[in-house]
């Protein structure tokens, strides 16, 4: 992994954004630091249904079963389908319908794991 150089003014902006919980400012500074250090940040959202969760009782609606589980990651190394499978397997032994997107907001571009093009 490469060393990352951060200017003092950028570091102060990062700390200030974190303390203020200002994600817009933080993302702007991090994007600038990434560009100055010629880094590419990869994003990955994962969601799956966990078949190990007990079904609701007979009087409860089951349209939301099994529940969706969400996680998101950022890395300076590309993600792989194998990495996703291993991660989900550590969380549950009965994952159903694994979906992924590399959209930084996690809002669009969801694909089944087998159909997703990792870059």
Give the pTM. Answer: 0.77
pLDDT > 70: percent of the chain: 97
Q: Is residue 74 classed exposed, middle or buried when 0-12, 13-18 and 19+ CB atoms within 10 A define those classes?
A: exposed
Q: Domain spans of the chain?
A: 1-39, 42-115
Q: What is the pLDDT at residue 37? A: 93
Q: What is the pLDDT at residue 46? A: 97
Give residue 67's Cα distance to chain centre: 18
User: What is d(CA 96, CA 50) in angstroms, rounded to the nearest whole number?
Assistant: 6
Rg (CA), the chain: 18
Closest CA to 70 of 94, 86, 51, 88: 88
Q: What is the pLDDT at residue 70? A: 93
9-21 pLDDT, tens digit per residue, is 999 998 998 999 8
**Rounded mean pLDDT, 86-100:** 93
In the predicted structure, residue 44 carries a pLDDT above the cut 70:
yes
Q: What is the pLDDT at residue 1? A: 66
Alpha-carbon distances, residue 19 vs 25, 31, 38, 75 (angstroms): 11, 18, 27, 23
**Rounded mean pLDDT, 63-84:** 90
Residue 45: strand pairing partners: 72, 101
Average pLDDT across the chain, whole number: 89
């Amino acid at each position: 992994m490469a060393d990352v150089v951060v200017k003092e003014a950028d570091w102060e902006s990062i700390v200030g954004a974190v303390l203020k919980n200002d994600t817009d400012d933080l993302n702007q500074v991090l994007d600038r630091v990434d560009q100055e250090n010629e880094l590419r940040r990869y994003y990955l959202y994962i969601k799956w249904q966990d078949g190990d969760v007990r079904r609701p009782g007979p009087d409860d609606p089951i349209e939301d079963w099994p529940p969706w589980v969400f996680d998101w990651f950022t890395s300076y190394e590309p993600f792989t389908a194998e990495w996703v499978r291993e991660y989900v397997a550590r969380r549950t032994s009965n994952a159903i319908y694994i979906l992924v997107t590399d959209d930084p907001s996690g809002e669009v571009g969801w694909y089944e794991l087998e159909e997703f093009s990792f870059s």
